[in-house]
Chains A and B, each alone.
Chain A
């Protein structure tokens, strides 16, 4: 099994120490061996030397010289003239001669001969012998005669012989001593070496014992480590399975037993992949984390958190997370397995919850769009009707009422547009403008706007300064007004027969203004105060029922406030009323020049008569637009598609071009590009996109193609004239280009009324009749004929355009939906087409009723 964790540094130190010890032991051993070898060599040489005696019994030889000389003298002294005596003298002489010549020449006496005293005496003796030898070798008579002299001479040499042997003996004794001393030295050296060897052996034994102890402690460590590992494996929350390289299970911990429902004794020896994993998991495992089981590769970096499916003994399949580790030499694999089916389920639930939340978000966005469209359409109708009403003769009171109505209507339209801008908030694209304005102007407008509603609820509504007045402000007046209107509107809604008051105060920092809207209404519960600024937050029970609405108001107010760099909050006593405050850093440093905010009572229209090119494929739309423009005195040239439009523009100078987008032959975008790219007299004239699909990204595309601005279909006369005024004369626009509406009420009566009212009475019946007949035919064709898709799409598109013009909103919406599906290539169910017929019949009846009035 794996070694215990966290011991690596200790082990390294241990290893070094062991290596050092082993090295010391080896060094001690080598030293001992060298000493022993050296000593052995030395002793062997000594033995060799001692074994070869290079000395005879020297003392004996030396003293024998004495003895033999004495015998020689005795032989001379005993001679009495007989022949035998002479022969004995000669033999004694020869023996002595032989002895002396040995002493004189023998190697063994070299040491003795080095003694000068000995040599001196030896030379004296030799000289005597040399002298005597002639006499000895002479005939018997001469020898006999010479004997007395020889004896006398011998007596004189006796002292030399004696001294010589004594000197030799003494010298030899000294040499002997020296040799003994040498032997003692050798023995002493031997003793020292033996001592060293003994010491070395003790050291060696000590080191061996240390090594032995170390080995024992290592063995203990290994046992402990494996115990620990066993404990860890046993207590691990994961299933741990150990296998060999062939995949045979070697170890199976209790968690694995529990997970796979198989006792370890039965699991051990079994093949891991085929026993713990179902068929479908195996190939992934073999090609993935367990690839080393089927190849000879040494396992390298091992897989972690590999997700697979495992199977237990009862066949239960479960999602498992597998991590694999290998021993460094790759002989064993350790598999860590964990049942992650709970986690997987939780993940799935989370995904579902997230999808639901996203769907909710989408629903919210759709809701917003629908709401705003819903509101825009009737508003447009109201505003259009008011414009028409101004053409009639009105008394002062009526004009005043009409002004109020129109002011409120436009404010409402602005609010709707703001709600539509909510998406811009989310994308972070909305920015607050910075304009000079007067605080009192804004507050007057708010009070004026909200006054009718306050009156209806029996409330009084007023505003006043608190403290020093600070009328000059720099900021986004429109946003401020929107926020205040929202707060005031809420206060009025929740107050019956009470007071709604706006207080404004310049804060001590001189930069911020604080607006406080107080009411004496029902108030808000403490616990609800924190929620009211959330999107779509409507408090339950009576509050919600009384309030109605979308619940977006305060959410938008909060966003607008922070957009302007301010804060918003509320305080309330349930039952006694509420206070909403708004702090915004808009106080201007000095006096400011102020432009009027909105010219509610003035319609903007071009002051001169314009030459206009109308590019529109739908005859009905062409007719309506032409009528609207000519009614205001402008000249209109019609082109039936983009191609015709380009030709007109290249040949004649216009003041402006109205360009439909979706047209056969050549669409509006392409036509615009060509007009701009050409060098005709109208290449630089303003081009106004006329479209029902003014999505922001599309507007960008129009702009990129060279279009100046956009107006929505169905055409609003005031808006159209206003846009023309802006682009031809630089007038200030009333509001942003309006958005298209797609109402799904069956009939937009106001749209129809506006259209019919804008037409000369002679044309009115004819065009209406044509519309009814054409639509009858087209619906008939769409529902009954099995049209090819492209033909069907053309019919649907044309018919939807007509319906839009004549306010047949329900049918138009249904047709637009079908058109969208056709564009996307989706299948159209026959029932969907069939449903158009009854819808048209209903709408047709309503149109007939209306036009009869």
Chain B
């Protein structure tokens, strides 16, 4: 269990205690629609060479909540999701970067230096509710922009990919 050190993260909801220990050995199989497919240099898979997740599998992982403004929204938003670094750890990712792709085939590279505990999350809730495709859902990579001025740059904004559905970990 981990708490982000940032003030905006004090609202982090600890769900890990409730999580079933089933994932300890494997990822399990998605029970509903797959929302995220991870391929590439990963050690843990659950379908062929890929790791696939439905929304429940993601929500059952450790969660982190950021309160921040974004340049694409109006006002302070609350985003809840899984730390990218947690996910990469979980999958035993060994790469130097990853390529994230959206439903509309937008693609961007996120270097492994961004996979940090105070870094980006794969958000699945905005303001406590799941996000539809029309609301840039179901998954959106969110950085804690307000907590760290360094994240208020065009490069970071370009990495904040919405409508995320695929990740490929690069060597």
Binding site for B on A (CB under 8 A): 48, 51-57, 64, 68, 71, 91, 94-95, 97-98, 101-102, 105-108
Let me know if B2 is at the binding interface, CB within 8 A. no
Closest partner residue, chain A, to B136 (CB atom): A98
Task: With a 10 A CB-CB cut-off, give which of A91, A97, A98 has the most chain B CB atoms.
Answer: A98
Judging by beta carbons under 8 Å apart, are A107 and B157 in contact?
no
- Pick the contact of A107 from B69, B106, B136 — CB < 8 Å? B69
- Pick the contact of B71 from A71, A97, A98, A106 — CB < 8 Å? A106
- Bound-state Cα–Cα, A496 to B135, Å: 171
Contacts of B48 in A (CB 8 A): none
Against A, the Cβ 8 Å flags (1 = close, 0 = not) of B149-168 are 10011100110001100000
- Bound-state Cα–Cα, A678 to B35, Å: 163
Mostly helix, strand, loop or mixed at chain B's interface?
loop
Against A, the Cβ 8 Å flags (1 = close, 0 = not) of B2-40 are 000000000000000000000000000000000000000
**Beyond A94-B134, A107-B70, 14 additional pairs, beta carbon < 8 A:** A48-B149, A52-B149, A53-B153, A55-B71, A55-B154, A56-B71, A94-B133, A95-B103, A95-B163, A101-B134, A106-B70, A106-B73, A107-B69, A107-B72
Mostly helix, strand, loop or mixed at chain A's interface?
helix
Judging by beta carbons under 8 Å apart, are B153 and A52 in contact?
yes
Judging by beta carbons under 8 Å apart, are A54 and B71 in contact?
yes
Q: Tell me the smallest distance from the CB of B160 to a CB of chain A, in Å.
A: 8
Closest partner residue, chain A, to B157 (CB atom): A56
Contacts of A52 in B (CB 8 A): 149, 152-153
- Bound-state Cα–Cα, A393 to B4, Å: 174
- Bound-state Cα–Cα, A95 to B134, Å: 6
Closest partner residue, chain A, to B153 (CB atom): A53
5 pairs of residues in contact across A and B, judged by CB atoms under 8 Å = A57-B154, A64-B106, A97-B133, A101-B134, A102-B72
Contacts of A51 in B (CB 8 A): 149, 152-153
Let me know if B104 is at the binding interface, CB within 8 A. yes
Contacts of B153 in A (CB 8 A): 51-53
- Residues 55 to 111 of chain B near chain A (Cβ within 8 Å): 69-74, 103-104, 106
Q: Tell me the smallest distance from the CB of A128 to a CB of chain B, in Å.
A: 14
Closest 7 CB pairs of A and B: A52-B152, A94-B133, A108-B71, A106-B72, A53-B154, A97-B134, A56-B157
Contacts of B135 in A (CB 8 A): 98, 101
Closest partner residue, chain A, to B154 (CB atom): A53
Q: Tell me the smallest distance from the CB of B92 to a CB of chain A, in Å.
A: 32
Contacts of B136 in A (CB 8 A): 98, 102
Closest partner residue, chain B, to A48 (CB atom): B149
Contacts of A107 in B (CB 8 A): 69-74
- Bound-state Cα–Cα, A326 to B136, Å: 96
Contacts of B127 in A (CB 8 A): none
Q: Tell me the smallest distance from the CB of A70 to a CB of chain B, in Å.
A: 12
Judging by beta carbons under 8 Å apart, are B152 and A98 in contact?
no
Contacts of B152 in A (CB 8 A): 51-54
- Bound-state Cα–Cα, A101 to B72, Å: 9
Let me know if B132 is at the binding interface, CB within 8 A. yes
Q: Tell me the smallest distance from the CB of A59 to a CB of chain B, in Å.
A: 12
Judging by beta carbons under 8 Å apart, are B162 and A56 in contact?
no
- Pick the contact of B157 from A53, A91, A94, A105 — CB < 8 Å? A53
Q: Tell me the smallest distance from the CB of A287 to a CB of chain B, in Å.
A: 84
Judging by beta carbons under 8 Å apart, are B149 and A57 in contact?
no
- Bound-state Cα–Cα, A56 to B162, Å: 13
Judging by beta carbons under 8 Å apart, are A57 and B158 in contact?
yes
Judging by beta carbons under 8 Å apart, are A91 and B73 in contact?
no
Contacts of A98 in B (CB 8 A): 133-136, 162-163
- Bound-state Cα–Cα, A95 to B105, Å: 11
- Bound-state Cα–Cα, A95 to B136, Å: 8
Contacts of A108 in B (CB 8 A): 71-72
Closest partner residue, chain A, to B156 (CB atom): A53
Judging by beta carbons under 8 Å apart, are A56 and B103 in contact?
no
Q: Tell me the smallest distance from the CB of B124 to a CB of chain A, in Å.
A: 16
Judging by beta carbons under 8 Å apart, are A91 and B149 in contact?
no
Contacts of B154 in A (CB 8 A): 53, 55-57
Closest partner residue, chain B, to A94 (CB atom): B133
Q: Tell me the smallest distance from the CB of B134 to a CB of chain A, in Å.
A: 4
Against A, the Cβ 8 Å flags (1 = close, 0 = not) of B123-140 are 000000000111110000
Q: Tell me the smallest distance from the CB of A449 to a CB of chain B, in Å.
A: 144
- Bound-state Cα–Cα, A567 to B104, Å: 151
- Bound-state Cα–Cα, A101 to B93, Å: 35
Q: Tell me the smallest distance from the CB of A122 to a CB of chain B, in Å.
A: 15
- Pick the contact of B74 from A53, A57, A97, A106 — CB < 8 Å? A106
Contacts of B162 in A (CB 8 A): 98
- Bound-state Cα–Cα, A733 to B157, Å: 152
Contacts of A64 in B (CB 8 A): 104, 106
- Pick the contact of A68 from B70, B104, B149 — CB < 8 Å? B104
Closest partner residue, chain A, to B104 (CB atom): A95
Q: Tell me the smallest distance from the CB of B79 to a CB of chain A, in Å.
A: 15
Contacts of B104 in A (CB 8 A): 64, 68, 71, 95
Q: Tell me the smallest distance from the CB of A301 to a CB of chain B, in Å.
A: 75
Task: With a 10 A CB-CB cut-off, give which of B73, B104, B135, B162 has the most chain A CB atoms.
Answer: B104
- Bound-state Cα–Cα, A95 to B74, Å: 19
Task: With a 10 A CB-CB cut-off, give which of B69, B72, B135 has the most chain A CB atoms.
Answer: B72
- Bound-state Cα–Cα, A97 to B69, Å: 21
Closest partner residue, chain B, to A93 (CB atom): B134
Contacts of A55 in B (CB 8 A): 71, 154, 157
Contacts of B73 in A (CB 8 A): 105-107
Contacts of A91 in B (CB 8 A): 103, 133
- Bound-state Cα–Cα, A56 to B158, Å: 7
- Bound-state Cα–Cα, A52 to B150, Å: 7
Q: Tell me the smallest distance from the CB of A237 to a CB of chain B, in Å.
A: 86
Closest partner residue, chain B, to A51 (CB atom): B149
- Bound-state Cα–Cα, A107 to B132, Å: 20
